[in-house]
Structure 1
Amino acid sequence: MKFVESGFVHVYTGNGKGKTTAAFGLALRAAASGMRVFIGQFIKGMEYGETKIAELMPNVVLEQFGRGCFIEKNPSPEDFRLAREGLRRSEEVLAGGSYGLVILDEIFIAHFFGLISSSDILNLMNLRNMRTELVLTGRKAPQEIIERADLVTEMVEIKHYYTKGVKARKGIEF
């Protein structure tokens, strides 16, 4: 198993497109370098093009902790249950220390909807093996997480074809 010498915490946030794409690009790079990669997707529970990465790369594990695409209104009890399950699984993975890269995709959306707390996320950051690279994604990253992270990238939407009525396209947006 390959690890980096010292892992860092990345935050990919903002209203622009590309947070999950950036995280999966890093997963591809890490996996191609022989690193074990764990990807936990909060909120998401559907098959997307990106979910096939685990089929294509044997050193990548992807698990989803959601029942659909996104929560549009109030979270259901099932949304809470799945987010807590994702949190417990993420704690196991980070405490175990066997992955060189751990990506917790859309964790900030789970936080925004009150499914998990900032202290839950800070606890995950504390649990990680110091050689494990941790990537946290989603809009609306809490300030206390931004302050604690080693790398923060904000995706800013300047222009998007979605505003012209273009729907999500397979292979590009999902």
Structure 2
Amino acid sequence: MEKGYIHVYTGKGKGKTTAAFGVALRAALSGKKVFIGQFVKNMQYNETKIENYLDNIKIKQFGRGCFIIEDPEEADIEAAKKGLDECGLLLSNGEYDLIILDEINIALYYKLLRVSDVINALKNKAPKVEVVLTGRYAPEELIEMADLVTEMVEIKHYYKQGVTSRSGIDH
């Protein structure tokens, strides 16, 4: 049986979700089953349309779409917990070859989830399952547990020139 590794894509630079979706596309095109759980998000981004084209990718969002960073509501916490419960089950049962926990680091940073609960879910994953965790502010405990950690660093960004997020490129 092939060993599944744990990846963390973090940092303040652009490209964490984009990189994770690149891994998802590569895995799906090689015949692997992919599940993408998006924490904090609840909007139709262009990348979420991929499941309309590839039967072996499933995407589910665990957010309300109106998360206030400074003051999350109980409903935000409940949505994140529901997401972790569902993703934890999928991690352990081995139904999927690749599971992406998109923006889970943000959910942890804003205390929608406990780091210990995420670590337990990862410890209980089926051995073959590959996992990618994304989002700024990855906690040190997840960095230590991961097999691969990439930090995205912003060196230059056109947003600072007043360019807004562009459909099909940035989202």
Q: How many residues align?
A: 171
State the Cα deviation string for residues 93-136 of structure 1 (Å, max 9, x = none). Answer: 11111110000000000001100011011112112111110000
Question: Given the alignment of the two structures, is residue 17 of structure 1 paired with residue 14 of structure 2, yes or no?
Answer: yes
Instruction: Name which of 36, 39, 42 aligns with 2:36.
Output: 39
Instruction: Name which of 81, 84, 96 aligns with 2:81.
Output: 84
Question: Given the alignment of the two structures, is residue 166 of structure 1 paired with residue 157 of structure 2, yes or no?
Answer: no
State the Cα deviation string for residues 111-168 of structure 1 (Å, max 9, x = none). Answer: 0110001101111211211111000000000001101100000000000001111111
Change (3 A) 1:71 1:53: farther
Secondary structure (helix, strand or coil) at the match of 1:25 reads helix
**CA RMSD after TM alignment:** 1.1
Secondary structure (helix, strand or coil) at the match of 1:10 reads strand
Which one-letter code corresponds to 2:59 in the other structure? L
Change (3 A) 1:145 1:41: same
Write the distance in 2 (CA, Å) between the matches of 1:62 and 1:170. 19
Give 5+ residue unaligned stretches, structure 2.
none
TM-score of the pair, normalised by structure 1: 0.95
Give 5+ residue unaligned stretches, structure 1.
none
Q: Which runs of 4+ in 1 moved over 2 A?
A: 69-73
Write the distance in 1 (CA, Å) between the matches of 2:162 and 2:79. 32
Secondary structure (helix, strand or coil) at the match of 2:72 reads coil
Question: How many angstroms does 1:70 deviate by?
Answer: 5.3
State the Cα deviation string for residues 37-75 of structure 1 (Å, max 9, x = none). Answer: 000000000000011111111001100001117543210
Residue 74 of structure 1 is matched in structure 2 by 71
Residue 110 of structure 1 is matched in structure 2 by 107
